[in-house]
Amino acid sequence: MGIKMKATIQPITDTNKEQFENLFNYYLYELSAYSQEDVGTKGIYEMEDISPYYRDERLHPYFITFNGKIVGFILVTSPPYVAQEVDYSVQELFVLPKYRGTDIAKDAVMQIFTLHPGKYEVGMFKSNVKAVKFWTKLIAALEIPVSAEDGVTEVQGKVLQTAGMKFTVA
């Protein structure tokens, strides 16, 4: 099955924001299968301003790299951008299709947990079965207690089911 590949993470900064913004649009394209969003008038997904990710030190954006190539990103938030009694939230995790089914996403998340230990919250669209399966399997493998809760969110006027997980990484 999965090939063992070692990924690394590197901070996203002002100097590599163009790669980040371009990659983020691919992410929104993929997410649209679950978010039900439509493209904007320019034929791309309308992004909120994502510059705070590389300008605010309470936000922790990283590229996921493999063999020197950018293969995805992981975006982590901390207070005040998280729920009460939560230290960190993995807001977005994206790996290009070519690199899925490997350990790249897991490697990246494990490096995040090492860099930023604490109480985590992860949310996803319930219909995103791959994401739900990824996080469920990873947390189970780490043998840490998790509390899961279902919720809803509204995107472009549509109410969508969400799945959330809270857990602590020591």
Per the prediction, the chain carries an average pLDDT of: 93
| pTM recorded for the entire structure | 0.92
Edge-first strand listing for the sheet containing 118-125: 8-11, 59-66, 69-77, 88-95, 118-125, 158-169, 146-155
Predicted confidence at residue 157, as pLDDT, reads 87
Write out pLDDT tens, residues 100-119. 989 999 999 999 999 999 99
Which tops the pLDDT comparison, 10 or 5? Answer: 10
Q: How confident is the model at residue 69 (pLDDT cuts 50, 70, 90)?
A: very high
Domains of the chain, by residue range, sit at 8-169
Residue 71 reports pLDDT greater than 80: yes
Nearest alpha-carbon partner for 73 in 36, 38, 111: 111
Residue 26 CB contacts under 8 Å (≥ 6 apart), including other chains: 94, 96
**Cα 70 from Cα 8, distance rounded (Å):** 10
Predicted confidence at residue 1, as pLDDT, reads 46
Write out pLDDT tens, residues 73-92. 999 999 999 999 999 999 99
Write out pLDDT tens, residues 143-164. 999 999 999 998 888 899 999 9
Kindly report the CATH number that applies to the domain delimited by 8-169.
Answer: 3.40.630.30
Residue 60 reports pLDDT greater than 90: yes
Predicted confidence at residue 48, as pLDDT, reads 85
Structure tokens at 11: 């901070």
Q: How confident is the model at residue 168 (pLDDT cuts 50, 70, 90)?
A: very high
Residue 133 reports pLDDT greater than 60: yes
